Amino acid sequence: SAVISQKPSRDICQRGTSLTIQCQVDSQVTMMFWYRQQPGQSLTLIATANQGSEATYESGFVIDKFPISRPNLTFSTLTVSNMSPEDSSIYLCSVEGTGRGGYTFGSGTRLTVV
Amino acid sequence: GNSVTQMEGPVTLSEEAFLTINCTYTATGYPSLFWYVQYPGEGLQLLLKATKADDKGSNKGFEATYRKETTSFHLEKGSVQVSDSAVYFCALGNAGGTSYGKLTFGQGTILTVHP
């Protein structure tokens, strides 16, 4: 299965600033997924990123707040913009493994906004 | 839309006890079903999966059977260890269409195993 390198692993940021999270995959993948895990909560899909097209956002998430880039088939970034304490979460990227299912996740970025 | 309902935790067991974590789902079509585990301070890892009805996924002594008639995918282990202490997530993968690849997660169940 694919191996994902995600960075930074954690960060503490001031409110009003932005943070860009990077995910690098060791193989080419069509779709990459970005999730948010709020403290003590489950994972919620933010958006799906396809190479060569705009990301598709889930209900409750907008491009202005979470812009995503997907410049090639092995890399994607998620930016958390104009941060507030409510954005404190773990952010994870994911790709589908070989065959049907078995999605692989990055190790996550633990973001704290103060 | 798709949804996953997981047994509420936290679950606290003694070592070598039997574990069941219930998971039921609502979905259209024939989704894939997964159990993921998140150990303290670590990322999410795939524990097991099943892609069609009556499939049994298994790994590290854990098992779960895809039951279409009851829309369930309960996780079981016959004898838990302290090292199994983690958060367990049941998840559903869309069967197809424009949302193919999207995972819907349950709320997670915290498992603590005492010696």
Distances (CA, A) of A22 to A5, A15, B9, B34, B35: 8, 20, 33, 26, 26
pLDDT at A61 over 80: yes
Provide the shortest C-alpha distance from residue B31 to chain A (in Å).
Answer: 9
Residue B37: CA atoms inside 13 Å, Cβ hemisphere, count?
Answer: 16
DSSP designation for B52: S
- Local confidence band at B95 (pLDDT 50, 70, 90 cut-offs): low
pLDDT in tens, A32-51: 999 999 988 889 999 999 88
For chain B, say whether A29 makes contact (Cβ under 8 Å).
no
Using DSSP's 3-state secondary structure scheme, residue B99 falls into: helix
On whether the CB atoms of residues A24 and A8 are closer than 8 A, the answer is: no
For chain B, say whether A89 makes contact (Cβ under 8 Å).
no
Nearest in space to A19 (alpha carbons), one of A27, A31, A11, A29: A11
pLDDT in tens, B20-78: 999 999 988 788 899 999 998 788 889 999 988 999 999 999 999 999 999 999 999 99
Q: Which residues of B touch A97 (CB under 8 A)?
A: 46
- Local confidence band at A98 (pLDDT 50, 70, 90 cut-offs): low
Single-letter residue type at A62: V
Q: CA A48, CA A68: separation in Å to the nearest integer?
A: 9
Q: CA A19, CA A91: separation in Å to the nearest integer?
A: 11
Q: Name the residue in chain A with its Cα closest to that of B108.
A: A42
pLDDT at A99 over 60: no
Chain position carrying tokens 């789902």: B25
DSSP designation for A100: S
Share of chain A above pLDDT 90, in %: 77
Q: CA A71, CA A10: separation in Å to the nearest integer?
A: 24
Q: Which residues of A touch B103 (CB under 8 A)?
A: 33, 35, 43, 45, 94, 103
Q: Which residues of A touch B89 (CB under 8 A)?
A: 42-43
Q: Name the residue in chain A with its Cα closest to that of B57.
A: A102
Q: Which residues of A touch B42 (CB under 8 A)?
A: 107
Q: CA B102, CA B113: separation in Å to the nearest integer?
A: 31
pLDDT attached to residue B97:
46
DSSP H or E run through A104: strand A104-105
Burial of residue B83, with CB atoms counted within 10 A of its CB: 0-12 exposed, 13-18 middle, 19 or more buried: exposed
Q: Give the number of A-B residue pairs with CB atoms closer than 8 Å.
A: 55
